[in-house]
Amino acid sequence: MDMLVPLMLIGSFLAACILVLAGCWILFRKMAAKGWSALVPRIDFSAWNRFWFTPADPTVLGLIRLSCGVITTYTLFAYTFMLQDFVGKDAWYDLSMRREMSRGRPNGVSPLALPYGYDYAPAVPSTPEEEDYCHKYKEKWGVLPPLPFPRDGEEAENLDIFKARFGYDLRFYGLSPPQTQEEYNYIPEYMTHPANIMRRPPPAYPANVKEKEDIFAYMAKPEHEGVDPRLAYTIGQPSWSIWFHVTDPTAMNVVHGLIVFVAFLFTIGLCTRITSVLTWMASLWYIHRNHVPLFGVDTMMVILLLYLMIGPSGAALSVDRLISRWWSKAKPRVLNRWRAFFGRAALSEGAVQPAAYSSAPLPTVSANFAIRMLQVHLCIIYLVSGLSKLQGPAWWSGIAVWGTLANFEFAPMPFEIGGVQVYNEFLRWLGGHQLFLDAFLTGACLFTLVFELGYAFLIWRPNTRWVFLSGAFFLHGICIGVLMGLKTFSLMMLVMNMGFLRREEVGKVLNIFTWPFGGSSGPPGAMASQRAALPSLKAAVEIGQVPVPSIE
């Protein structure tokens, strides 16, 4: 074993030398063939431009809008029955407290990376006396001390007494030991004050009595949770909600009804460019007014609404498209009727420029950009979710899923078939067979981790795309939607996964139904013939027809 470490080091050094020599040999060969230009890397942004800025058919975005709009309308409509309890003036989270939190709540910040066991940056000794102090401090308390170092033995002893009494080092937030009588008196007053509910040391000494009293008054407010304002990097939260100002119950019901109606208009795709912005903004009003019931579906809802607002989500499968088709035929007739109403002569048929309309939705860069943003954002969500799970021991040991399966609040415990609680009996059987229990829990944990960590990398590959889309359906549609009962959240996540569907796949699904939205999408062969007949987007716009490129 003693020889193993040197051998590993020697082997690693030799492998590194071989890699360096191989790299130099490849570089010299390129220089011999191409000269010094081989040292300059070639930067090609064509793939980047194709990924973000290739015009795409907005039908996928329209289907996402339709699905997201149904869930959003349902979510907003659910506030109707308890509107005053959620966002009213005297709600559970009343308006006065919410305003105080919005204006005066402290927002603290902690170091991003510190050695395990520390809440502060440990002191680094530079003299033999400081090294001796750090050694004694670690022997006594198990961790290195914070800065600054004590000036003498008496000061070090007083710091130890303080830590033994209160559990924190006086220098926890960088405070120097007291030097004057006022500072000596301030320390016990601060630590025993009723406002200091966390019993942590102060970050600094007050400049005068008024500042000390203002700090205690701030800490005493319940919504500030005993946090010293000097520890906050900012005070308050920038938020706005119409429910901060509309507090009359009747007026609130009217405004809420208008919001639900706007969400319905967004769902059916009427004035989508306007209703998408209003729906996104109105959804934030409920979150900003009362963030206590905020859940995953609310977060995913506003994320998806943002991208539907950016892209032309009303360009397909919408009332806007029906109106566009009607206007392309009715424009001359409507204009002549208006001219007759004002006593003017009717225009000839050739004098009226017909409204632009295409039999298939017009591919646009904004549609592709919105879908790509949604895809990238969804990959980040899954990746961060998987990485955060690796920080907890429950996912490493394979028992994390049991906390969900056996949770009466989430799991379908009362579900019965013929008087038998099927789910409970399954759990009892699983608990009575250790081998199956371990295999089931470990397999569920591994599936979740592999799916969330691999999604961001493998969903883009054609061979694994449907594997991960099927995994998303299993995870959200069955595991989270059925076993945890989070139906709206699961549906919203499945809608976000629809961003990875291709135009041809959506067309096959739409052809099954009779959609009254701007005509049939047509079979895949028709789309291929359109692409062959129309060589460029510019030519397609000029003649009023467009190709339908797939979203890879």
pLDDT grade for 341, boundaries at 50, 70 and 90: confident
Q: How many Cβ atoms sit within 10 Å of the Cβ of residue 434?
A: 9
240-264 core/surface letters (b: 16 or more CB in 10 A; e: else)? ebbbbebeeeeebeebbeebbebbb
The set of long-range contacts for 327-332, using a CB threshold of 8 Å and a minimum separation of 24, is 327/355, 327/357, 328/354, 328/355, 328/356, 328/357, 331/355
528 confidence band (pLDDT: 50, 70, 90) = very low
Please answer whether residues 422 and 431 qualify as being in contact, where contact means their C-beta atoms are separated by less than 8 angstroms: no
What are the pLDDT digits (tens) for 447-501?
899 999 999 999 999 899 999 999 999 988 888 887 777 888 999 999 999 999 9
Spatial distance between the Cα atoms of 97 and 103, rounded to a whole number of angstroms: 10
Contact criterion met (CB below 8 Å) for 283 and 305: yes
**HSE toward the beta carbon, residue 493, CA cutoff 13 A:** 25
Average pLDDT, integer, range 377-382: 94
Q: How far apart are CA 71 and CA 286, in angstroms?
A: 15
Per-residue pLDDT for 310 more than 90?
A: yes
Tokens of 4: 């193993």
What is the average pLDDT across 72-91?
92
Assess whether pLDDT exceeds 80 at residue 261: yes
CA distance linking residue 379 with residue 392, whole number of Å: 21
Reported as a single tens digit per residue, the pLDDT across 414-424 is: 767 777 777 77
Rounded distance between C-alpha atoms, residue 56 and residue 550, angstroms: 7
Mean pLDDT of 102-115: 67
- Of 130-144, 303-317, 477-491, the least confident: 477-491
Predicted local confidence at residue 4, as pLDDT: 57
Residue 232 phi, psi dihedral angles, 5° rounding: -90, 140
The confidence score (pLDDT) of residue 541 equals 40
pLDDT band at 36 (very low <50, low <70, confident <90, very high): low
The pTM assigned to this predicted structure is 0.74
Q: What is the pLDDT of residue 110?
A: 63
